[in-house]
Amino acid sequence: MIRTSDIHLEKISGSDQGYYLTGSGILWFSIIILISLLCGWNSGYAQEQPLAQPFLQLDSGGHTAVINDIAFSPDGRYLVSASDDKTIRVWDWKQGKTVRFLRGSVSEGNEGTIYAMALSPNGKWLAVAGWMDKSNAVVPCCGDIRLYDFQSGELKALLHGHRSVVQALTFSPDSQKLISGSSDKTAIIWQVTTQKPLQTLSGHSKAIHALAFSADNQRVVTGSFDHSLRLWQVVDGQLIATLQGHTDKVNAVAVSPKSDLIASGSDDQTIRLWDAQSGKFLRRMTKQGTGIEVSSLSFSPDGLRLLSASHSAPMACYVWDVASGKKQHTYKHDNIVLATGFSPNGAHIVTAGGVDNKIYLWDSKNGKLVQTLGGQGAAIWSVGFATDGQSIAWGKTSTHISRTNRGELEQQLHLSQRNSSLGTPKPVTKKQTWQRAKDVVGDWSLQSHKSGDYGYQAILEIKHKGKVSARIERNASNGYGHTAYTFTPNGKNIISGGRNGTLSLYSNKGQKRGEFIGHNSEVWAVAVSPDGEYLVSGSDDKTVRLWRVNNQELLLTLFTGEKKDWVAWTPEGYYTASPKGDHLLGWQINRSKDKSADYAAAEQLRKHFYRPDIIDQTLRLGSAKQAVAQADDIDVKLVDLLGKGLPPKFVLSQPQNGTIVTHKMQNITLLFSAGAKATSLEAYVNGVQVIGRGKMALPARANKHEKTITLPLKAGENNIKVIAHNSIGQTIREFKLILNDPATRKKGRLFLVAVGVSDYDDNELDLHFAAKDAIAVEKILQQQGNKQYKKVISVILADGHKNPTRNNIEDAVSLFRDATIDDTVVLFISGHGINDGQHYYFLPRDAEKQGDHWRPSSVVKWRILQDALADAKGQRILLVDTCHAGNAFNPRLVNDAAAKDIIVISSTDSQSLAFEKAELGHGVFTYALLEGLKGKADALDGNKQITFKELDTWLSIHVPKLSDGAQTPVLNLPPSFKDFPFVHL
């Protein structure tokens, strides 16, 4: 994971800047957050030039590639981190979450990769550098430095001067100057206020990777891959001394804030101390350990301790007593650490890295872990294809058996076929067999060897009958080494992964045939489908990707988290996801090289880009491009949509999140950005819709707009969600208020529409128990519901009751309009559902065929049922049992409802059917539901009431049990859901 060429190198020097900042407290940063939220997005959208194609980014909640620098804010409450994943995150480390981003122009390939970051000691400026343009040239290229106003997040200037990538940055203690070190072998001292270069320091013979100012701002020290350090005067750039002694690359340098002491760290495993006035060598403080190369150094604020890190085994960080050179603490990691620092008060230590690229905060006195900052997901170490080619599998645990088998397969995904949709990630079973990477096919074999300057597996030998017939050699420009490789099944082609996302196709003669472009970090695993048509790959960027081998087209990218969240998307941005999984994905909108970028999450644009049907067609056709070209109802291109503006931008103004309030009807003030206005708004309290979506007028006030709404609260904690809409998309804000009121819950009514179609006009569609299921559900809810609700108001559409025709069903759901915020609304529907492109339909009794399709006027559009529930006030529940035939499941059943905080229980998932059993007298799902409502779901606590979570637990156990594992129900509970009694016994 280390870049080691002079052109494209991963930063090896640590974050030894910013750790000694002192500051102005919490209020200062709270104001920053508010300003950045309201002003961080550009308010004008008239484009001087066409908008560039938005850049699709994964947002797992943490970094997805190596973290190169980290710094504390002046008050010590916040951390700022920068990564190869092209993001800058600001963390509230006590809460353990990202509170904002700073963004600049990025694109596919190298542009935007961050190798260096520094926060000025006064907290005003943030400097960022790395590979800052699209050029792949050796020289000149990509050496700009981005200078941000840290408070607002606005990009203030681009500093031009370097002719190659910048590897290191640091500010002077007085925040007046900035120094940058580059692969062009020079360092530049900049005047921050004018953004002009003061001195260019030349003399090193290789890239500069380490920098530090003296405590009095008068001198700077530079460290280079040429094994030396140099001490310079700031005022005139004159060389004071060359510091010789290290026998390998110098990766890190730090200057004590309390004395004239320089510490340097090298790949020679030693830490050396030097005089910061003269450059005189003082002593070798320590040898970090045999083979343990030094990657980062940071002094404590009092200058008494030194923190070091390593990018070689055993991958630990150490705290040393500077005076004695004795080790005080060891902080173990499972992979390289390139960024370290002390908090301003010296109480905490921060280290960043490891396999999952997380940030760790430690107590500096006792060495105990205090906090871990990171996101969902993990590196993908293994991949495979099912032997029938219909599923892919992957694993996140590394056992490194070989380069063709780095670990066990743990999760699987069924791919869309002609008569089935994309599945959901599930555990791999022991009975299944999988095709993995193959390094031997017939008389052909592959073997990699270490080579080059850096010890990577840089040479891949292709052997025929045991003799080397060709070699593929890699260097810094094409992946450094061969991290994973395989033959295609016929042995005619080879696919090899490398570092920095490299993934290439070669002939068995070693000739390059193409590139698979998409990953942005090390590729650890590859496998080819049994028919040789498709490739699956896994990477350190936490994604699994599916490709077409012959033209290297990327079809699908998959990310899975630890919380059952997942998302899969095409390169064009169309996606499918678990309920709420679309918060993991979004688009950065580049404005220009010298402007801050904007961002829109997928959940904000879901009405345009949530397209499970396009995902299915991509896999069936073997081409995302063809699937998009053939798709219906594509209303707008992404670049055109975001060229018009952004979804609404707003924050909670008052009361603040977490406030204890005393009013049952609480006023909430929202502050909207003038540049991203809202046209309608809806609100939910504990998953209950209390304000339905409607047009909204915003009073204008200069550059801001305020809107006050009134929300009904319940005693105790209230989870609140507000959704604002405009023509571009939607924005969601969630917060909590605590009502200090002992009042009990007001008793509401239950509104129920139960639909069951058994007897179809088309006899081939007939079901045995759908109508009986609907009748039984209505009966049990009438019986048990009268004990829980003030009144049960129901409509049955089934045999022997109201005829379940299209018109009658659509009329029946209008009943939900009468519900209030205290009521509960239930739609139970059983019968046949069908997919048609992105649309889903329910077949009423009078459904009619028109050729191979259903007559549109004879079927019930699912959107009508969905909207009836979505527009209803109160707690909304959908119980759906419509998957009685192949390809009848549609993820929109669950996901669209989830987006509206509707509680959903579907009788089955995408990989199974809903069964009826004569011996039960009902469908399996309904039988289990009825048994649970009769009292069996209350078995856990026996309190004579059944909560919704109790009902869910009962169904999740007994539906698979009754169906011998053939049927699995799907439940979605909104994030703001609070469990409630559904019925009393």
**Is residue 711 one of the residues assigned to a domain?**
yes
The pair of three-digit structure tokens given for residue 131, joined into one six-digit string: 């590979």
d(CA 34, CA 58): 25
Smallest CA-to-CA distance from 689 within 507, 793, 589, 824 is with: 824
**Is residue 175 one of the residues assigned to a domain?**
yes
**Is residue 12 one of the residues assigned to a domain?**
no
The pair of three-digit structure tokens given for residue 197, joined into one six-digit string: 């270069």
Query: Does residue 547 sit in the same domain as residue 681?
Result: no
SS (H, E, C) 433-501: CEECCCCEECCEEEEEEEECCCCEEEEEEEEECCEEEEEEECCCCCCCCCCEEEECCCCCEEEEECHHH
pLDDT, tens only, 833-850: 887 767 788 999 999 988
Q: Which CATH number do you get for residue 766?
A: 3.40.50.1460
Smallest CA-to-CA distance from 667 within 683, 678, 680, 679 is with: 683
d(CA 209, CA 115): 10
Query: Does residue 460 sit in the same domain as residue 556?
Result: yes
Q: For the chain, state the CA radius of gyration.
A: 31
Query: Does residue 781 sit in the same domain as residue 761?
Result: yes
Smallest CA-to-CA distance from 414 within 402, 426, 406, 432 is with: 426
Query: Does residue 756 sit in the same domain as residue 700?
Result: no
d(CA 89, CA 101): 5
Yes or no: say if 646 and 690 are a contact pair by the CB < 8 Å rule.
no
Query: Does residue 668 sit in the same domain as residue 760?
Result: no
Q: What ranges make up the beta strands (E) of 674-820? A: 680-685, 688-695, 700-701, 704-712, 716-725, 730-739, 749-756, 791-797
Please report, for residues 8, 451, 888, the alpha-carbon distance to residue 480 in angstroms, rounded to integers and kept in the order given.
Answer: 10, 10, 48
The pair of three-digit structure tokens given for residue 517, joined into one six-digit string: 């472009």
**Is residue 767 one of the residues assigned to a domain?**
yes
Looking at residue 19, its pLDDT comes to 28
- Looking at the 3D structure of the chain, how many domains does it have? 4
Please report, for residues 135, 148, 864, the alpha-carbon distance to residue 143 in angstroms, rounded to integers and kept in the order given.
Answer: 10, 16, 55
d(CA 575, CA 512): 32
pLDDT, tens only, 167-196: 999 999 999 999 999 999 999 999 999 999
Query: Does residue 657 sit in the same domain as residue 759?
Result: no
Looking at residue 634, its pLDDT comes to 84
Query: Does residue 686 sit in the same domain as residue 760?
Result: no
The whole-angstrom distance between residue 981's C-alpha and the CA centroid of its chain comes to: 35
Query: Does residue 522 sit in the same domain as residue 659?
Result: no
Among residues 562, 596, 618, the one where a domain terminates is: 562
Secondary structure element (H or E) that encloses residue 119, with its range:
strand 113-119
| Type of residue found at 560 | T
| Type of residue found at 746 | K
**Is residue 47 one of the residues assigned to a domain?**
no
Looking at residue 38, its pLDDT comes to 40
Looking at residue 502, its pLDDT comes to 93
**Is residue 265 one of the residues assigned to a domain?**
yes
Among residues 540, 562, 584, the one where a domain terminates is: 562
Looking at residue 21, its pLDDT comes to 30
Looking at residue 744, its pLDDT comes to 55
Structural domain of 479: 382-562
Q: Which CATH number do you get for residue 672?
A: 2.60.40.10
**Is residue 706 one of the residues assigned to a domain?**
yes
Helix, strand and coil percent figures for the chain, each rounded to 5: 15, 40, 45
Q: Which CATH number do you get for residue 475?
A: 2.130.10.10
Query: Does residue 713 sit in the same domain as residue 759?
Result: no
Query: Does residue 884 sit in the same domain as residue 970?
Result: yes
Strand pairing report for 196-202 and 294-299: unpaired
Q: Which residues of the chain are modeled with pLDDT < 70?
A: 1-50, 135-140, 453-454, 695-704, 742-745, 837, 883-889, 910-912, 914, 940
Among residues 228, 247, 270, the one where a domain terminates is: 270
Query: Does residue 669 sit in the same domain as residue 784?
Result: no
Looking at residue 40, its pLDDT comes to 38
Smallest CA-to-CA distance from 472 within 510, 439, 514 is with: 510
Query: Does residue 155 sit in the same domain as residue 207?
Result: yes
Backbone angles phi, psi at 39, to 5 degrees: -115, -5
**Is residue 904 one of the residues assigned to a domain?**
yes
Helix/strand/coil for 809: helix
User: DSSP class of residue 938?
Assistant: G
Secondary structure element (H or E) that encloses residue 864, with its range:
helix 862-870
Sheet containing strand 208-213, edge to edge, reads 208-213, 219-224, 229-233, 239-243
Yes or no: say if 775 and 800 are a contact pair by the CB < 8 Å rule.
yes
Yes or no: say if 305 and 322 are a contact pair by the CB < 8 Å rule.
yes
Yes or no: say if 127 and 114 are a contact pair by the CB < 8 Å rule.
no
Yes or no: say if 257 and 264 are a contact pair by the CB < 8 Å rule.
no
